[in-house]
Amino acid sequence: MRHFLTLKDYTKDEILEILDLADEIKAQTKKGDLKLYLKDKTLAMIFEKSSTRTRVSFEVGISQLGGKALFLSSRDIQLGRGEPVKDTARVLGRMVDMIMARVYKQSDLEELAKFSGIPVINGLSDDFHPVQLMADLMTMREFGKDINSLKVAYIGDGNNMANSYILAASKLGFELRIATPKGYEPCDSVLNLAFDFAKESGAKILLSNTPQTAINEADVVVTDTWISMGQEEEKIKRVKDFNGFTIDRVLMSLAKSDAIFLHCLPAYRGYEVSEELFEAHADEIFSEAENRLHAQKAVMVWLYRRKDE
Ligand code: CP
Ligand code: NVA
């Protein structure tokens, strides 16, 4: 059974196939003739954390494809009262066709995958946000960037988004420069895995603690919140530690003149990005948000077709 838990389980060709499908699905949607690829299928969506884009893109996405979504907040289902993940998985596996889950622990996604017997999609965990990456890559291509010769700068926290960029670069073979404050580097296990994949793909993954080094001549500049969901109590310390990492017009001027700026959202102006820079790149950022809808439809359709491999 195939799942979509991290990009480490996907080949370069498979990632590109999903991106091509996302383009096709977007075009069909815009023309008003989207095929009902998931007619009568049901997606259970488990949320342990808040969400706007992920919930709406999957819920609207499956309904456009002819299926239905069930929104299951962990506050409302027995999982939140301590029912084991593996029991929840076995029940859902007998009632629905696919699961998308936003959770704290990556191991809970693995448990859902192991016990449900149906495809499971990671809608964000503390470690990875692979469905966001599909929308980001789709947006880069739409804005004319060639994935094979890209230089991407990721500036900020070495978090789930950074980890997902590392895996994407290592599979697709692009150059990724990451700048984090000291002590906020991405975890070694993800980096080691990526350095291994990079031997085959030719990816370059460079780490530094200076945003100026990372952003120099970049084609795409990416950031994310300094305070991820679940880290609210660290806010004061993090804001202090990330001083100097705000992406503003001056920092962005070091990137290529036609560089695009992406942010998975929600964005916190005055912290990871200035209001001025955010608004100057709003078209790119909200195209990225819109592409969640089409990329997430592509992930569901592709996975459902290939689930038995
Ligand atoms: N980018 C993203 O996943 O947004 P939500 O938290 O609103 O789903
Ligand atoms: N890193 C952020 C991403 C939100 C979409 C978080 O985990 O909260």
59-85 burial: b if 16+ Cβ within 10 Å, else e = bebbebbebebbebbbeebebeeeeeb
| Structural domains in the chain (count) | 2
Assess whether 75 carries a catalytic annotation.
no
In which domain, by residue range, is 104 found?
7-129+292-305
Q: Show the tokens assigned to 205.
A: 């993954």
Same domain, yes or no, for 122 and 261? no
Q: Measured from the CB, is residue 51 less than 6 Å from ligand 1?
A: yes
Q: Measured from the CB, is residue 160 less than 6 Å from ligand 1?
A: no
Supply the pLDDT for residue 120: 98
Q: Which of 127, 157, 219, 224 is catalytic?
A: 224
Same domain, yes or no, for 58 and 119? yes
Confidence of residue 304 (pLDDT cuts 50, 70, 90): very high
* 2 belongs to a structural domain: no
pLDDT digits (tens, 9 = 90+) for 97-138: 999 999 999 999 999 999 999 999 999 999 999 999 999 999
Same domain, yes or no, for 267 and 283? yes
pLDDT digits (tens, 9 = 90+) for 192-230: 999 999 999 999 999 999 999 999 999 999 999 999 999
pLDDT digits (tens, 9 = 90+) for 254-274: 999 999 999 999 999 999 999
CA 102-163-71 angle, 5° bins: 10
Q: 34: CA distance to ligand 2 center in Å? A: 30
Assess whether 132 carries a catalytic annotation.
yes
Distance CA 55, CA 100 (A): 9
Same domain, yes or no, for 175 and 83? no
* 75 belongs to a structural domain: yes
**Whole-prediction pTM:** 0.98
Give the residue whose CA is nearest to atom 4 of ligand 1: 53
* 1 belongs to a structural domain: no
Same domain, yes or no, for 282 and 218? yes
Assess whether 224 carries a catalytic annotation.
yes
Q: Measured from the CB, is residue 265 less than 6 Å from ligand 1?
A: yes
Distance CA 250, CA 223 (A): 15
* 146 belongs to a structural domain: yes
- CA 305, 52, 82, 230 dihedral sign is positive
User: What is the pairing mode between strands 260-263 and 220-223?
Assistant: parallel
Q: 36: CA distance to ligand 2 center in Å? A: 31
* 227 belongs to a structural domain: yes
pLDDT digits (tens, 9 = 90+) for 267-300: 999 999 999 999 999 999 999 999 999 999 999 9
Nearest CA to 114 out of 139, 135, 89 is that of 89
- Residues making up the annotated binding site for L-ornithine are 160, 224, 228-229
Index of the ligand 2 atom closest to the CA of residue 132: 5
Q: Show the tokens assigned to 273.
A: 């990005």
Nearest CA to 126 out of 72, 178, 188, 49 is that of 49
Give the residue whose CA is nearest to atom 6 of ligand 1: 51
* 99 belongs to a structural domain: yes
Same domain, yes or no, for 280 and 296? no
Same domain, yes or no, for 144 and 275? yes
Ligand nearest to the CA of 136: 1
Q: Burial, 90: exposed, middle or buried (Cβ in 10 Å; 0-12, 13-18, 19+)? A: middle
Supply the pLDDT for residue 179: 98
* 215 belongs to a structural domain: yes
Same domain, yes or no, for 138 and 280? yes
Peptide bond preceding 266 in cis form (omega within 30 of 0)? yes
Same domain, yes or no, for 260 and 301? no
Give Cα 211 to chain centroid, integer Å. Answer: 22
Same domain, yes or no, for 168 and 265? yes
Distance CA 124, CA 57 (A): 13
- E strand intervals along the chain: 42-47, 68-73, 98-102, 120-122, 151-155, 175-179, 204-208, 220-223, 260-263
Q: Among 157, 264, 265, 292, which is best to mutate for testing ligand 2, by the most ligand atoms less than 8 A from CB?
A: 264
Same domain, yes or no, for 155 and 17? no
Distance CA 226, CA 86 (A): 32
Q: Among 48, 53, 122, 285, which is best to mutate for testing ligand 1, by the most ligand atoms less than 8 A from CB?
A: 53
pLDDT digits (tens, 9 = 90+) for 155-196: 999 999 999 999 999 999 999 999 999 999 999 999 999 999
Q: Which of 102, 177, 263, 281 is catalytic?
A: 102
Q: Measured from the CB, is residue 52 less than 6 Å from ligand 1?
A: yes
The enclosing H or E element of 294 equals helix 282-306
Same domain, yes or no, for 251 and 204? yes
* 108 belongs to a structural domain: yes
CATH code for the domain of 211: 3.40.50.1370
Supply the pLDDT for residue 254: 98
Supply the pLDDT for residue 90: 98
